Structure 1
């Protein structure tokens, strides 16, 4: 084989390898571009983040997910969630959402857990009032008030508040404990009107907390007093005026004239002189 033939064969092999390499790079670039267009960054929990915990950089990581599969309020960068407070317990792998995080604007982390139109009020409890120590942050409770009625020392009890969220027990706002713990105070989240009812009930008698099932968010319907039925007045009966007296003149012998006076059903006869 001549040198010229070997040169042409070698040149053809180089051109073929170059064309194959360029085609492979072009296909890879197109596939990567197509894949990147359909994916987005989503911040997920790298560890379990308990209720009331401040999110730190080591608690989260960024993963790639197909577009449209993540919630609208998901975050695309970890620096957007660091420093926020978890208002719900999040497990490892959960997507961090804006609805489950609150801004920490200073002070205690508990203040960041309170909704904008709510207040935090603490109630002194013991092992009975505190449901045997089974109350934990994030639970829902009802409040029952008991007070004496009348002078016979009889007591009456009724539910004054329903479906209140437990923000903290003693000075703990996290839910990393699962065993019952007897505490001295429970902090509840409620509106200003509910806080007034609770404080008034504390001064009038004793309070008792009732633990609710987290799936039960129904409240008792408020009793609506129905107005008393008004009896319809009977239709007025028109009074019938008695018929006017009709004098009937009858002439009789002598100097007098007999007159008969009729008043309704009464008939009277008399004489008049002419």
Structure 2
């Protein structure tokens, strides 16, 4: 075999090995880089986090999820959620979202649960007013007011407030209990105008809470009284008949006809 042939064979082997090495490196880079390029860190709950609970480090963890599958307000690190207050109950495996958390800016955790421009007002209750003890934080209720009418013993009941969120029962803003618990006070979330209506109703009579279905988020439509318009007077069925005058053929009298009555008058000639 000539030297030229050996040179060509050696060059072919070197080029083949180089191509194989480059292909292997490119394929390995693609396989190793693909997960990092298509996945993102997402914080999820490792245990159930009740409404009003402060999130702790052992409550959450980070998992890898494909990009575009997590909500826009999801978190990518646990230190961004630790210390916040859960405004909704989160189950194990739920993605921790910013819309379900509130900043704890000091003081009680209850203050962090109140929405902007709203207030927390406590109502004294018993086992009846508190719906048999079935009220829990996160439930929604209507408020009915009963007051006496006039000086008699008659009373009237009216729904004065609707769809109010229960922030706390007694001094508990979070609970995982489902059994009824009789409490002495219930704290409700409402606007300042609704708070004025509630306080006034407390001084006038007795209050009663009505537990709402969580799926029923519609309030009763307001009934607007329409102005009463008097109906026009009906047109007379029979027009007034003018008296018909007929002169007698002999010229000795005048016959006056009024409806069915006939009157004959004598006329002096």
- Is TM more than 0.5 here? yes
Residue 121 of structure 1 corresponds to 121
Residue 208 of structure 1 corresponds to 208
Q: CA deviation at 1:228?
A: 3.4
Residue 139 of structure 1 corresponds to 139
1:179 is aligned to 2:179: yes
Q: CA deviation at 1:222?
A: 1.1
* Whole-Å separation in 1 of the counterparts to 2:43 and 2:21: 37
Q: CA deviation at 1:148?
A: 0.3
TM-score, L = length of structure 1: 0.75
* Whole-Å separation in 2 of the counterparts to 1:184 and 1:16: 85
Q: CA deviation at 1:72?
A: 0.7
The Cα offsets for residues 129-152 of structure 1, whole Å up to 9 and x where unpaired, read as 000000000001000000000122
* Whole-Å separation in 2 of the counterparts to 1:25 and 1:71: 35
Residue 105 of structure 1 corresponds to 105
Q: CA deviation at 1:175?
A: 2.4
Q: CA deviation at 1:83?
A: 0.8
Residue 192 of structure 2 corresponds to 192
Query: Which deviates more, 17-26 or 165-174?
Result: 17-26
1:38 is aligned to 2:38: yes
- List gaps (5 residues or longer) in structure 1: 1-14, 233-274
The 3-state SS of whatever aligns with 1:165 is: strand
* Whole-Å separation in 2 of the counterparts to 1:102 and 1:26: 46
1:82 is aligned to 2:82: yes
| Aligned residue pair count | 222
- List gaps (5 residues or longer) in structure 2: 1-14, 233-269
Question: Where do 1:1-274 residues align within 5 Å?
Answer: 23-229=23-229
The 3-state SS of whatever aligns with 2:180 is: coil
Query: Which deviates more, 24-33 or 35-44?
Result: 24-33
* Whole-Å separation in 2 of the counterparts to 1:130 and 1:28: 65
The 3-state SS of whatever aligns with 2:63 is: strand
The 3-state SS of whatever aligns with 2:182 is: coil
The 3-state SS of whatever aligns with 2:89 is: coil
Q: CA deviation at 1:31?
A: 1.5
* Whole-Å separation in 2 of the counterparts to 1:17 and 1:44: 47
Q: CA deviation at 1:120?
A: 0.3
Q: CA deviation at 1:35?
A: 2.3
**Which contiguous aligned blocks of 4+ residues in structure 1 show a shift greater than 4 angstroms?**
15-25
The 3-state SS of whatever aligns with 1:135 is: coil
Query: Which deviates more, 17-26 or 169-178?
Result: 17-26
TM-score, L = length of structure 2: 0.77
* RMSD across aligned positions (CA): 2.3
* Whole-Å separation in 2 of the counterparts to 1:171 and 1:210: 21
The 3-state SS of whatever aligns with 2:120 is: strand
